[in-house]
Amino acid sequence: MATERRAPLDRRRVADTALDLLNEVGLDGLTLRAIARELDVKAPALYWHFKDKQALLDEMATEMYRRMVADTSLDPADTWRERLLKTNRGLRAALLRYRDGAKVFSGSRFTGAVHAKQMESDLRLFTTAGLTLPQAVRATTTAYVFTLGFVTEEQGVHPLPGERREGYDLDERARLMADYPLTAQAGAEIFTDYDRHFEEGLALVIGGIGAAYGLD
């Protein structure tokens, strides 16, 4: 009887499966037992590959980053503006691909030096464009934390694109804010059309960089 033996696990396969599961159950439901079940294995088996759950989350964040890089086509001839647009749109898309993606990402650290290659490319492009290294770091990380903060807020309302978390009724909010007309009106502006608002916010940041560092 050819009882096929499952190929042994490895860190990548575990992280892959965990990311798939994340989209179904969310970060709260992402237990080691559930991940193990998906891999046809018992929970303690995961401790052979990861020293603890955080190490697995770190690998998941790293995998998210790898997919982001794979999906972002960078051109050495990009202008610095194009580069900032590409990388931050790519980052947002990568985070939005997974339920609680921003939380997982910002709560973890990369395993190894995966991010060095892109970072080096960005910094070279920015310094070539005339910035000092500290300025280049400031520009890229300011855009980075903007995007991370933006998606964190966004996923608080939309766990996945198209899904809406409960407790965000715009009409009810407007009624609660009746004594504050601008705030009431702002609700519609805050909780809709995240795509456009991301673009506008990112444009503000990029515009600020150009103005401050005398670029273009």
Are 152 and 102 in contact by the 8 Å Cβ rule? The answer is: yes
Give the pair of three-digit tokens for residue 75: 């051109």
Are 102 and 159 in contact by the 8 Å Cβ rule? The answer is: no
Distance CA 35, CA 26 (A): 12
Stretch that binds DNA, among 3-11, 72-80, 92-100, 138-146 (CB under 7 A): 3-11
Residue 119 CB contacts under 8 Å (≥ 6 apart), including other chains:
140
Contact call for residue 164 and DNA (CB under 7 A): no
Contact call for residue 24 and DNA (CB under 7 A): no
Contact call for residue 30 and DNA (CB under 7 A): yes
Please give the residue ranges that form the binding site for a copy of itself (CB under 8 A): 103, 106-107, 109, 112-113, 116-117, 119-120, 123-124, 127, 133-134, 136-139, 141-142, 144-150, 152-153, 156, 167, 176-177, 179-183, 185-186, 189-190, 197, 200-201, 203-209, 211-212
Distance CA 68, CA 17 (A): 17
Residue 45 CB contacts under 8 Å (≥ 6 apart), including other chains:
9, 36, 39
Residue 211 interacts, among a copy of itself, DNA, none and using kind-specific CB cut-offs from 5 to 8 Å, with a copy of itself
By CB under 7 A, name the binding residues for DNA: 5-6, 8-9, 29-34, 36, 40-45, 47-49, 51-54
